[in-house]
């Protein structure tokens, strides 16, 4: 049995983002202190309990010699439901994230270019801005940007036919 721990900010920590990852993700200003002076490691070393959102994050905690409970990051399936009908006239490959993680999209641009030579699709990016996204000079696909908005988030996400989550591969 794993006891339920109340996150009180004093001695228990939970995390569901790889704030320790390289290259550093640029966090919003109010969270940047987490990336200073190896802060994630220090917080975890000093915590009495650590809860991670997935096995990848738990592996990092274990590499510090700490034990960790995994409580998977959940999605409210009552709120985030698939759209019962296509909203778009062509398939939409989409991604949603903060501008600090936009650079991950650059790794999939060659794949999107190649797909665009054979198939018609729209590439949709939902983010707070377009910083660090390097679109091809002449894309072989339609590109659409929607500024992230909490009031339209569900509607915007439902436009996506195929969701992607590019990440940096690491040797293990």
| pLDDT tens digits along 74-86 | 767 777 777 776 7
Per residue in 129-140, pLDDT (tens digit) is 999 999 999 999
Average confidence score pLDDT of the chain? 79
DSSP 27: -
**Per-residue pLDDT at 9:** 47
Its sign, for the CA torsion 88, 94, 100, 103, is negative
Interatomic CA distance for residues 60 and 64, integer angstroms? 7
pLDDT at 3 over 50: no
Interatomic CA distance for residues 39 and 17, integer angstroms? 14
Q: How far is CA 15 from CA 46, 50, 53, 108, in A?
A: 14, 8, 6, 27
When comparing pLDDT for 63 and 30, which is higher?
Answer: 63
**Per-residue pLDDT at 53:** 81
Query: Is the distance from CB of 121 to CB of 90 less than 8 angstroms?
Result: yes
Interatomic CA distance for residues 14 and 48, integer angstroms? 11
Q: Is the peptide bond before 23 cis (omega within 30 degrees of 0)?
A: yes
List all residues 6 or more positions away from 106 whose beta carbon is below 8 Å from its beta carbon: 132, 133, 134
CB neighbour class for 165 (10 Å; exposed up to 12, middle 13-18, buried from 19): exposed
């Amino acid at each position: 049995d794993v006891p339920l721990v109340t996150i009180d900010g004093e001695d228990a920590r939970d995390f569901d983002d790889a704030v320790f990852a390289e290259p550093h993700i640029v966090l919003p200003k109010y969270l940047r202190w987490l990336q200073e002076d190896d802060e994630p490691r220090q917080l975890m070393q000093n915590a009495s309990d650590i809860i991670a959102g997935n096995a990848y994050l738990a592996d990092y905690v274990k590499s510090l010699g700490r034990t960790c409970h995994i409580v998977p990051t959940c999605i409210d399936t009552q709120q985030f439901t698939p759209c019962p009908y296509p909203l778009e006239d062509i398939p939409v490959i989409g991604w949603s994230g903060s501008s600090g993680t936009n650079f991950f999209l650059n790794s999939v641009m060659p794949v999107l270019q190649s797909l665009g030579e054979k198939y018609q699709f729209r590439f949709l990016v939902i983010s707070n801005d377009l910083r660090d996204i390097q679109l091809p000079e002449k894309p072989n696909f339609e590109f659409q940007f929607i500024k992230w908005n909490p009031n339209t988030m569900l509607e915007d996400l439902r436009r996506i036919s195929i969701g992607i989550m590019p990440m940096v591969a690491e040797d293990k």
